[in-house]
Chain A
Amino acid sequence: MLEVRGLSKSFGGFRAVSDVDLAVAEGEIAAVIGPNGAGKSTLFSLITGHLRPTAGSVFVDGRDVTGLAPYKICGMGLGRSFQRTNIFPKLTVLENVRAALLAHRGEGPNFWSRASRLCRGEAEVLLGSIGLAGQAHVVSGTLSYGNQKQLELGIALASNPKILLLDEPTAGMSASETHETIALIERIARERRLTLLFTEHDMAVVFSVAQRIAVMHQGRVIAHGDPSAVRADAHVRRVYLGDAPMEPRR
């Protein structure tokens, strides 16, 4: 479904991402982990077209999308959420989702209808599924941090993606918020049969949710496979997992 071959990105002399190969099958939940600065966010930006790779290719559903503009890649069914919260802060929650729905439907160039009369039902269903139905008319910038992250997920889902890339969906959340958000993401991914690729700091979350894990270190993928294989990998233990608990928390 999503395939990356020999992807590299250099900034000046610094190789942020170096010769990365990665494949995520349809309906699979995959995670990229690695210490800060390992190149995870850069990798995501290369896949979504926000950065142009120095070398290598990206395939979405078998089609080469390398170097295409983000809006074109988005149109091919690849949705994204960002590490820094990335919503439209002065718009209401409903308007955030409505804008994404209208954009996905190609209604953007329509300059004569009234936007406030369109997509009502769909927007409400979507807000319900991400748990923000009660806050439709709240200015989104005033939401709590956790709710903003939920809204961001909603914006990504509005374009009805086949593949969803989530960059640290629980960054900065409390333990209980993390738990709720991950449960929400897992449920939505199952319901919509999404292919999911995410990065995450919390190892317990990664090892309990992901079916496949790639470990990045200094721009390279040093290991990938199912959770048990990654957990057993000696190299991974040495450079990254270190003394961290190897068993998922119960």
Chain B
Amino acid sequence: MKTPATALVRRIPWVLVVFLAALTIPWIGSRYDTFLATQIAISALFAVSLNLLLGTTGLVSFGHVAYFGIGSYVCGILMKTYAMPFSIALPAAALGAAFGALVFGFFCVRLTKIYFAMLTLAFSQIIWAICFKWNDVTGGDQGLPDVPYPDLGWMSSVPLLDGLRIADQFYVLTLIVVVLSLAAIQRVIASPFGLMLTTIRENPERAASIGLNVRGYELAAFVIAGGFAGIAGALFGIFNRGVFADFVYWPKSAEVMIMTILGGIDYFWGPVVGAATLVLLNQKITSYTEYWPFVLGAVLLVLLFAFPGGIAGGLATGANWLRRKKGGPTGA
């Protein structure tokens, strides 16, 4: 049985709470805090989109950055080269990334486990090579600098938002897009479709025997995850004031996977926690030492052994322990 307190905790719309809390940052923090918060929000969306594959469907993709990159380039090219508005460039980035995921995913879902992972990596390297060499469109190794900010003139007519700097206004826009995306992903995971994905994660052979076209579902998950990664990529290109080929390079895939696993793949909010942790750790540690990768490696090692379920897993275990200590019944 659930205690009233647990039921209450479950009923709180956490997405909304996080949104409102994060929204206060431009007013209470510094310019640099907003910068970090924007980066965290975008990384969080990227990591949650990966976790739809990793944690929900059980697909290990080493090439998720391909769809992030496609989103970045599509949005950047449309806004800079063709002077399109953000309201067209963003959906186009999502659709472009989803289409890329559809084409590549078609081949990837035909393989399983490590072969699936290798093929996703191979495709992401192909995308990288194209971005790096197609000078006329992507700017090649020079990239695509000076992607303009979206036209945020409308924010001037919104009370409270009118006094903000452009970077702060972009943060507010980013937050709205990210939160809407997270809410949509959460809804998908809680749907019958999401339940089918978890059965595939748990036992693909059995999932086929309850009547599921496993490859079809995996491909659908791949496309949805790719589309949301594209949205994250589009936002990041603008935030970064330019799109460059190393957005699509494989270490970015590793980085988002570290965020996801560090935060905890069994929890919806795990990758968000992981993204915030990694961005903040990076920022703190690089200001003390140049051996940031070394410290990161050590932190990961400790966390993976201490909390196999990631930070979110560790927190959940701790909360359960506290509840038991108080003598109350434990939650599920």
Chain A residues near B (Cβ < 8 Å): 48, 50, 69-71, 74-75, 79-80, 82, 86-92, 95, 98-100, 102-104, 107-116, 118, 137, 139, 155-156, 158-159
The segment from B62-70, B132-140, B173-181, B195-203 found at the interface with A is: B195-203
Residues of A within 8 A of B190 (CB): 114-116
Q: How far apart are the CA atoms of A4 and B211 in the complex, in Å?
A: 22
Identify the closest chain B residue to A116 (Cβ). B190
Ordered by A's residue number, 26 sampled pairs between the chains whose C-beta atoms are within 8 Å are: A48-B209, A71-B208, A71-B213, A87-B206, A88-B198, A88-B202, A88-B203, A88-B206, A88-B207, A89-B202, A89-B203, A91-B198, A91-B202, A92-B332, A98-B195, A99-B196, A99-B210, A102-B192, A103-B211, A104-B210, A108-B192, A108-B196, A109-B220, A112-B187, A114-B191, A115-B190
Expressed in whole angstroms, the minimum distance between the Cβ of B212 and any Cβ of chain A is 5
Report which of A115, A139, A155 forms a contact with B210, defined as CB distance below 8 A. A155
Size of chain B's interface in residues, with CB distance under 8 A?
26
B115 within 8 A of A: no
Please indicate the chain A residues that have their CB under 8 angstroms from the CB of B214 in the complex.
71
Question: Which B residues fall within an 8 A CB radius of A?
Answer: 187-188, 190-196, 198-199, 202-203, 205-214, 217, 220, 332
Would you call A100 and B210 a contact (CB within 8 A)?
Answer: yes
Are B208 and A69 in contact, with the CB atoms below 8 A?
yes
- Report yes or no: A113 in contact with B192, Cβ–Cβ below 8 A: yes
Alpha-carbon distance A42/B104, docked complex (angstroms) = 34
Question: Which one of B195, B209, B217, B220 has the highest number of Cβ atoms from chain A below 10 Å of its Cβ?
Answer: B209
Residues of A within 8 A of B187 (CB): 111-112
Sample of 16 further A-B pairs with CB below 8 A, known A88-B202, A102-B196: A69-B213, A70-B209, A71-B212, A71-B213, A82-B209, A88-B206, A92-B332, A99-B198, A99-B210, A102-B195, A104-B210, A108-B192, A108-B217, A110-B191, A110-B192, A137-B332
Q: Which of A82, A113, A137 contacts B206 (CB 8 A)?
A: A82
Contact partner, B191, options A50, A115, A156, Cβ 8 Å: A115
Which B-chain residue is minimally distant from A114 (CB atoms)? Answer: B190
C-alpha gap A91/B213 in the complex (Å): 20
Distance in angstroms from B265 CB to nearest chain A CB is 12
Q: In the assembled complex, how far is the CB of residue B264 from the closest CB belonging to chain A, in whole angstroms?
A: 14
Please determine whether B193 and A111 come into contact, CB atoms closer than 8 angstroms: yes
- From B187, B193, B332, name the one whose CB has the most chain A CB atoms within 10 angstroms: B193
Q: Are A110 and B199 in contact (CB under 8 A)?
A: no
Chain A residues near B203: list those with CB within 8 A: 86-89
Contacts of B217 on A, CB cut-off 8 Å?
108
Minimum CB–CB distance for A26 against chain B, Å? 21
A118 near B192: Cβ-Cβ < 8 Å: yes
Among candidates B191, B209, B210, residue contacting A111 with C-beta atoms closer than 8 Å: B191
Q: Across the interface, do A88 and B199 meet the contact criterion of CB distance under 8 Å? A: yes
Q: Complex formed: what's the CA distance from A188 to B208 in Å?
A: 23
Chain B neighbourhood of A139, CB < 8 A: 332
Complexed CA–CA distance, A111 and B185 (Å): 10
